[in-house]
Amino acid sequence: MGKTSKDKRDIYYRKAKEEGWRARSAFKLLQIDSECQIFDGVSKAVDLCAAPGSWSQVLARKLNENYQEALKEGPASPPKIVAVDLQAMAPLEGVIQLQGDITNTSTAEQIIAHFDNTRADLVVCDGAPDVTGLHDMDIFIQSQLLLAALNIATHILRPGGTFVAKIFRAKDVSLLYAQLRIFFPYVYCTKPSSSRNSSIEAFVVCKDYSPPEGYEPNMLNPWLTEEPCDFEKLTGVNRVVVPFVVCGDLSQPDSDMCYPLNYEGKEYKYHEPVQTPIAPPYEEALLISRRRAEKNVSTFDDSTDFSEIDVEAAIEHENKSSISGIKWALNSASNNSDNQPSTSAKTVQDEDSGEAIDGLQNLYQLDISVSDCSTENEYKDESLANDMKRVLIVSANNDFDNESNTVAKTANDAL
C-alpha–C-alpha distance, residues 211 and 159, integer Å: 8
C-alpha–C-alpha distance, residues 380 and 415, integer Å: 16
C-alpha–C-alpha distance, residues 365 and 380, integer Å: 12
C-alpha–C-alpha distance, residues 305 and 286, integer Å: 32
Q: Is 101 annotated as belonging to a binding site?
A: yes
Q: Is 21 annotated as belonging to a binding site?
A: no
Longest dimension (CA), the chain: 135
C-alpha–C-alpha distance, residues 204 and 174, integer Å: 12
CB 37 within 8 A of CB 207: no
C-alpha–C-alpha distance, residues 43 and 294, integer Å: 84
C-alpha–C-alpha distance, residues 368 and 53, integer Å: 79
CB 163 within 8 A of CB 123: yes
Q: Is 399 annotated as belonging to a binding site?
A: no
**110 three-class SS:** helix
Give 188's strand partners.
205
CB 203 within 8 A of CB 166: yes
- 201-207/120-125 β-pairing: unpaired
Per-residue exposure over 280-313, b if at least 16 CB sit within 10 Å of its own CB, e if not: eeeeeeeeeeeeeeeeeeeeeeeeeebbbbbbbb
The verdict on whether 327 is a catalytic residue reads: no
Q: Which of 131, 134, 157 is nearest to 48 (CA)?
A: 157
Length of the chain, in residues: 415
CB 43 within 8 A of CB 77: yes
DSSP category for residue 301: S
Terminal CA-CA length for the chain: 93
Residue 161, amino acid? G
Q: Alpha-carbon Rg of the chain, whole angstroms?
A: 44
Q: Which of 28, 166, 207, 380 is catalytic?
A: 166
CA dihedral 179, 182, 185, 189 (to 10 degrees): -10
Binding site, annotated residues: 53, 55, 85, 101, 126
Report, as residue numbers or ranges, the catalytic residues: 166
